[in-house]
Amino acid sequence: MWIETIVMPREEPAAHYRAAPQRDRSVAYAAACAEGEHFHDTVLSYLRSHQLMEAVRWVSAPGSIPMVTLHCTFGVLEQLQKEPRFEAGRSLTLTGF
């Protein structure tokens, strides 16, 4: 059975919130896209090194958020949940009428 899985980087809680300084949004967007692509590559590298790609049917493209959506088996989800670099879980399945 294929499930949709969402994977994000695991983060430590921030000590306190500090407003970011104003900067050109194009620079921030380019940096966010680079971070998203790096995380995407990290997840794919993990899947390949653990020989899990045969249990993955679809992988989302990199974007401006460090997040990867997969269509995969429960076994892949379990392996991703064990990896300390990732937060992974199932997305909510909704049945339309």
How is 37-89 classified by DSSP, letter by letter? HHHHHHHHHHHHHTT-GGGEEEEPPP-SSS-EEEEE-HHHHHHHHHSTTEEEE
**pLDDT at 94 (0 to 100):** 63
- Separation of alpha carbons 11 and 95, rounded Å: 32
Q: What is the pTM of this model?
A: 0.79
Domain ranges of the chain: 3-9+28-90
CA angle (76, 33, 50) in 5-degree steps: 20
**pLDDT at 16 (0 to 100):** 74
CB 72, CB 41: distance < 8 Å: no
pLDDT exceeds cutoff 80 at 20? no
Residue 97: pLDDT band with limits 50, 70, 90:
low
